[in-house]
Chains A and B, each alone.
Chain A
Amino acid sequence: MTNVFSERAVDLDLAREHNLSVDEYERMLRIVGREPSLTELGIFSAMWSEHCSYKSSRVWLKKLPTTGPRVICGPGENAGVVDIGDGQAVIFKMESHNHPSFIEPYQGAATGVGGILRDVFTMGARPIANMNALRFGDPKHPKTRHLVNGVVAGIGGYGNSVGVPTVGGETEFHAGYNGNILVNAMTVGIANADKIFYSAAAGLGNPVVYVGSKTGRDGIRGAVMASAEFSGDSEAKRPTVQVGDPFTEKLLIEACLELMATDAIVSIQDMGAAGLTSSSVEMADKGGLGMELDLGRVPQRERGMTPYEIMLSESQERMLIILKPGREKLAEAIFHKWELDFAVIGKLTDTGRLVLRMNDKLYCDLPVRPLVDEAPKYERPWEKTPTPAPLDAAYDLPSAPLDVLQKLIATADLASKRWIWEQYDSLVRGDTVWGPGQADAAVVRVDETTSKAVAITTDCTPRYCVADPVQGGRQAVAEAWRNLSAVGALPLAVTDNMNFGNPEKPRIMGQFAGCIEGMAEACIALDFPVVSGNVSLYNETDGEPILPTPAIGGVGLLDDARRAVGLSLRDGLTLLLVGEPGTGHLGRTLYLREIHGKEMGPPPPVDLAAERRTGDFVRGQIQAGHIQASHDVGGGGLLVAIAEMAMASGIGATLALEEKAGLLFGEDQGRYILATNQPDVVTRAAEQAKVPVRRIGQSQGTALKLGAASVEVAALKQANEAWLPALMAGEI
């Protein structure tokens, strides 16, 4: 019998304190075959947490398509990898940092950015762009301003310092997020397709190397914390939040990329959630090997840290590397040049066990494989979300359309987010072609030797998902695909960030199942596979769940960024409405919510065949150079979309549209506004492609004109720009 030291007895009560269920406790005892040590319990609780094991979501995630002709690496590694030609690959992922950001918004958001950056450069990519998808509570809720301020400062504080441009994102407000905000961060990087680094350990006896920051007592059991509901005591959880240091991250990026240019690395993984525990276990498991570590050699920031603390710390800016034998000196010199810690802390073994020692005492001796393979997997009961009743009334325009427009564009979800994105450096690296607020997707050139670029977007409409998860899941994917097409990019692949409530409730699991079903349908129909992602559950406080929010990060490819179009109107162009005209759908629209005060009805349906036909047509016209500005018709509907194009440049338009609520403010899907100087050419091509097209106006002057009424674009812009600064100044 191995004599494994434990600081205290491990019983069911202690296991429960570690968030393990009775079943999970018993399963752990069977695997260990004796009473586990405290360190071992900590390792089980982290590896089997929802956050690390995906135990509630795995059976559903399998339904998503994850392969395609360009996919080099799908889900399961640190990030997804997609071929973009010329021997290059784009590597990307989105990840949540919801729970910590609610507890401590600056550090929570900052370390969210740091973590996702590491997931991407771990694989050998130079990060070229960051994005984010943020959801806050009611603007009037007493915590909202503090949270917005902290999250935005945290994202900027980290991203600006590491020198990766934050080129776009989305921010929405809804009372459903009062107790649980969402901070989803995405990083996109570029690597040589033949120089991708993976995490599977290999090579018996090879050294296991720790690099980066020292390990401290911050973020201990963060992954476990993030796998439970809040119950009004979130302040008490502050010690589980990690603290970020972007300066060290910047050095770590440069040092890792420098080491990666040599042939010293066998495999590499960042220490993210569950820190040294998940990185060591996952690397050993993927390689089918064992690992022996001397925790006394782990660089430590504080004295007297126990093995339990060292294994469960989520201190930031750390990586675990398996080196080829004899390359230690070379690697050490690089990390010391960048003034980072470097320590050989162990070696690979053929025992298949994770063996941890400190000061010659044995603290852990566990089989690796069961920690991963025998992690619980739940087919949790779920209830289908009831089909929403149709709207009970016509909800006609209460006043002149342009007055409604002016009111609508100054509401929370449509107001300009300039106050946020001007706090992010969107221009560093000098490759930003279209940044925040300029186009439906951000466009970032791959490097200066080429005009090849990637287009990036994040999208989700939770108010649709809550009413009908299947349509909402479809729409989130379709909108991302549409936004990429709207700049002229070929959509490549998706990363998803599934944010939901407590999966132990059948109603929540039903939302999850529905969204996955809709997403899978859309991903298949649009050839838009999921290559990476993250699941964040238990976004509930005192039993109140968030709106189901499957955030989609989409990446597309532009062979020639000079062909990309933004949304800014120019004078003298014809405005075309392209796509199926729809029915003037008002259910779940911003018009219904903001003007009539109702959140009801079904969301607009997504016709995936029409979506594909229309998007392919739009992309073709942009690439042919026929289009000067382009914008999809999204939240707020047609008139809002036209106003957004006008506000981007100050140029107005004279519109020929019937003054009906459904036409002007309905959110029917799969539609674009194209501004062109060749309307006849585009119209003929649309007819050939069997895509409906309608001339809706002409850009000119400085006012939007509809019938006899008109409003100055400058006045619209003033209203649109004023809302968020006023909120943040405490004036709303």
Chain B
Amino acid sequence: MQAAVVVFPGSNRDRDAVRALTLVMGRAPHTVWHHATELPKADLIVLPGGFSHGDYLRCGAMAAHSPVMREVRAAAERGVPILGVCNGFQILVEAHLLPGALLRNAALKFSCKRVTLKVETSNSPFLRRYNAGEQIVIPSAHGEGNYFAAPDVVKQLEDDDRVAFRYAHSHNGSVKDIAGILSANRRVLGMMPHPEDAIEELTGGTDGKRLFESIVEAVAQ
């Protein structure tokens, strides 16, 4: 399996994503600079967390127009699994690969804590090793993770079983406590909390590891 982590100027959890993938895949993923007009062959693309372009203008807005995003969009259309975490989720939303928007946290402050998430579905290559309904603890660190979408969009997401995770306790003001969502083909996952930082017992638990194991297993099949 090959994976690629896209690095934008201002990405800062690219290293965390590389580490998680290396640990689970047994080999390091490619890292791809945002100017790239071609992607290496990859079975998984990760858009990491951080503050691409300093979050200036709007979180993820400029990164969504990076040259590399044309390739990411084409890959998504081919069905290549794509994971966007935190700023990566914001970029996916700005690129219209996922619906909705991420607003400032309801408390108007950056918030870093380990949050309990409820896994809403296991029907995705990213989620097959979880059980729908189980609760996991994942670090969360963002100032603009307040998920918003129009009521009909939220209803569609729910009707299609495309809500991947919800916060078990109200966290940042997200509509219906949504923490992560899937694309219609279930192969694009955007989420605010950081599974890549929940990989090792020593540094905060392993509840995020199964997400990466799931995708490795799915690609292998």
Contacts and interface: CB of A to CB of B under 8 A. Distances in A.
Contacts of A372: none
A427 B197 contact: yes
A163 B110 contact: no
A534 B190 CA distance: 44
Contacts of A338: 9
A163 B143 CA distance: 14
A246 interface: yes
Contacts of A163: 12-13, 50
Interface stretch (B53-61, B157-165, B178-186): B53-61
A429 B16 contact: yes
B19 A448 contact: yes
Residues of B contacting A: mostly:
mixed
A162 B50 CA distance: 8
Interface in A343-385: none
A338 B11 CA distance: 12
A422 interface: yes
B10 A425 contact: no
Contacts of B129: none
B202 A427 contact: no
Contacts of A300: none
Contacts of B10: 161, 247, 250-251
Contacts of A445: 202-203
A428 B202 contact: no
B204 A246 contact: no
A247 B202 contact: no
A432 B113 CA distance: 12
A309 interface: no
Contacts of A153: 109
A428 B13 CA distance: 7
A161 B141 contact: no
A504 interface: no
Contact of A247 (B19, B56, B112, B200): B56
B207 interface: no
A251 B12 contact: no
B54 A247 contact: yes
Interface residues of A, number: 34
B196 A430 contact: yes
B110 A432 contact: no
B199 interface: yes
Contact of B112 (A246, A427, A429, A431): A427
Nearest to A339: B9
A426 interface: yes
A433 interface: yes
B147 interface: no
A161 B109 contact: no
B112 A423 contact: yes
A424 B112 contact: yes
Nearest to A564: B202
A156 interface: yes
A35 interface: no
A245 interface: yes
B194 interface: yes
B55 A425 contact: no
Contacts of A337: 33
A422 B54 contact: no
Given A247-B10, A247-B56, A427 B141 contact: yes
Closest 4 CB pairs of A and B: A163-B12, A247-B54, A425-B141, A161-B51
Given A247-B53, A247-B54, 7 more contacts: A161-B51, A247-B55, A337-B33, A423-B110, A426-B141, A429-B16, A430-B196
10 contacts: A161-B54, A247-B9, A423-B111, A425-B112, A425-B141, A427-B204, A430-B20, A430-B196, A445-B202, A562-B202
Interface of A: 153, 156-157, 160-163, 245-248, 250-251, 337-339, 421-433, 445, 448, 451, 561-562
